[in-house]
A and B are shown apart, each in its own frame.
Chain A
Amino acid sequence: MDLELSDEQGLIVDTVRKFVRNEIVPLEADMDPDASDLDEENHERLASQVKQMGFYGLDIPPEYGGPDIDIVTRTLMAIEMAQHRAGLYNACYGVFGGAGLAQLFEANEDQKQRYLFPTLRGERHGFFGLTEPSGGSDPARAIQTTAVKDGDDWVLNGGKIFISGADRADYGIVFARTDAAKGRGGITCFIIDADMPGFHVRRIVHTLRSTSYATELQFDNLRVPPKNILGEVDKGFAIANDRLSRQRIPYSAGCIGVAVKAQEMAIAYANQRTTFGDLLATRQAIQWMIVDNEIDIRTSRWLTLAAADKANKGQPYRTEAAMAKLVASEAGGRVVDRSMQIHGGYGMTKDLPLERWYREIRIRRIGEGPSEVQRLIMARDLLGGSFH
């Protein structure tokens, strides 16, 4: 693995960095600190700029019109794209586009026509429904939503929780148990339409991430035709699992981006804030916090790029992705926390983005599999078994 960026990577990173600093950050100065969206006019203007730069739809495979940028470079870009107030969960407010639900690239042709292509055109929006009130860390066992065959159709009953975007979605990918006796081998993935009778968004679930929200869903005799099964009956868990590993790399990159920006702010503040007659930067207590921040950032960065490099080469990267996610989410939290400490009272205010990052990055130790599950994944790989 070459630790130096190529000339092309350097140019791309520089372009994205300038875009974030010149186009996104100035807009945020006039927005509510908890804003989740740009106004339509700015969104369209910036998305158009991104298309002209050739970066639109970053994670869309090139055969579907994506820009054909390798995952290492996309990771470097994601680190840059997160470096603004809303960057952790809404990098550049979505103006770089996206693939939506990656599982749909594995759908059959009919499903691609009905769901994938309209999604790529921005005409339809989907949600991913895996976690249930009974648990999210062990979906293979926790899934209690049932799908029972009735004639040709399947009838779903149960519910999901912590589901983002379901209240505004046109369709969703949901996982249900089709064979109670088979454990993870008895789960099937269904595509459901939001206007199907029996689909309910029961409530908003408020979290630390106050700018956005999750939802709780209920399926009440929701009848799904067999043409809406994604993949094969009883083989849905692999679809969910694949997504979880893949998602951990950009998830880590977002944490690094926020940490980089928090560190930049901390250094700038330490170099201009005076206490007891001298700059904060001269105090050993502050110096050590800055150094510890840098160690956390570099550790996270190299582990995440190492995972991306393996994925790029088509090699197994489950352990690497789990390690990156564990370290980046925990280190990112520490960096933001120390940077707030250096800023003192101002670090607590909504005038600065630190308080929003502080709240949002706490979720990162839980989302996409908590730290404990990442350790479990690594232990399984290192010890060579799927133990209980």
Chain B
Amino acid sequence: MQIRLTKPWRPLTAEEVRKLPGQLGVYELADASGAVVYIGFAGAKELFGLRSALQRHAEAGTGGAVSFRVEVNMQYTSRFKELLMSHRMDHGDIPPVNRTEPPVKVGRLS
């Protein structure tokens, strides 16, 4: 499995989000420049998995995001941390919106 998310970017619109599966997994949100502004996961508390989580972000306009990509993954908690770690390795920190949330224990890759 690739460490970084490699799925194609899709527009963060209600229409596109409706096509998402109700499965659990991880996702990334990006702004108009393509920079990842948020990494999240859709866990078992989400009523409709990835679809519910992305619907919420589409309505809220999280971090000025205009696009998203998802990965269906039952190991969403460890995969979520892996994505944060790889982002920190590539960019020096976790994405900006993640920095505003309660801290997640994230390690380092080198």
Query: Interface residues, chain A, CB within 8 Å of chain B?
Result: 32-37, 39-40, 165-168, 199-204, 206, 210-213, 215, 350-351
Contact = CB atoms under 8 A, between A and B. Distances in A.
Contacts of B77: 32, 34-36, 210-212
Contact of B43 (A34, A40, A167, A206): A34
Given A35-B77, A167-B108, A206 B44 contact: no
Given A33-B44, A39-B102, A201 B78 contact: no
Interface in B32-82: 43-45, 74-79, 81-82
B107 A168 contact: yes
Contacts of A36: 77
7 contacts: A33-B43, A167-B107, A167-B108, A167-B109, A203-B109, A213-B78, A351-B44
Could you tell me the dominant secondary structure of chain B's interface residues? loop
Contacts of B106: 168
Nearest 6 pairs of A and B residues by beta carbon:
A167-B107, A210-B75, A350-B44, A32-B43, A213-B78, A168-B107
Contacts of A212: 77-78
B108 A201 contact: yes
Measured as residues with beta carbon below 8 angstroms from the partner, the interface class of chain B is: 20 to 34
Contacts of A167: 85, 107-109
Contacts of A200: 110
Given A39-B102, A167-B108, A204 B81 contact: yes
Nearest to B1: A206
A127 to B, nearest CB: 10
B74 to A, nearest CB: 7
B103 interface: yes
B105 interface: yes
Contacts of B107: 165-168, 201, 215
A138 B3 CA distance: 30
